[in-house]
Amino acid sequence: AQTVTQSQPEMSVQEAETVTLSCTYDTSESDYYLFWYKQPPSRQMILVIRQEAYKQQNATENRFSVNFQKAAKSFSLKISDSQLGDAAMYFCAFVPYFGNEKLTFGTGTRLTIIP
């Protein structure tokens, strides 16, 4: 069974600054996908970024980038130039490449943006 751990229940950052959210996972799979999802208050969960485990290059989406360390089973999210709209719960999630595609979530990190 896979587990996903987010050790930071809450984080805060000044607007326009950079913040890094941590995620570690445990799996015996060699092929898998990792995701960061964002859930604003009372809004739907939306995908921020995804990483294929077989790719060495870290994924980037505009101001969002990841630091994927496969050997360490670490998958952190960096948000650059933080904006007020980035305030949300952020969930790290894992799904194996093979099997029934069960997505396993971490417990989330609540990000507050300080104006």
- Which span (16-24, 63-71, 76-84, 89-97) binds another protein, by CB under 8 A? 89-97
H or E stretch at 53: none
Residue 17 Cβ, how far from another protein at the closest point, in Å? Answer: 25
Residue 98 in contact with another protein, rule: CB under 8 A: yes
The contact mask relative to another protein for 45-84 (x = CB under 8 A, - = no) is xxx--x-x--------------------------------
Q: Are 45 and 38 in contact (CB under 8 A)?
A: yes
Q: Which of 13, 21, 25, 35 binds another protein (CB under 8 A)?
A: 35
Q: Are 104 and 35 in contact (CB under 8 A)?
A: no
Residue 108 in contact with another protein, rule: CB under 8 A: yes
Residue 33 in contact with another protein, rule: CB under 8 A: yes
How far apart are the C-alpha atoms of 99 and 114, rounded to whole Å?
A: 42
Residue 28 in contact with another protein, rule: CB under 8 A: no
Helix, strand, coil shares, percent, the chain, to 5: 5, 50, 45
* DSSP state letters, 21-36: E--EEE-S-SSEEEEE
Residue 102 in contact with another protein, rule: CB under 8 A: yes
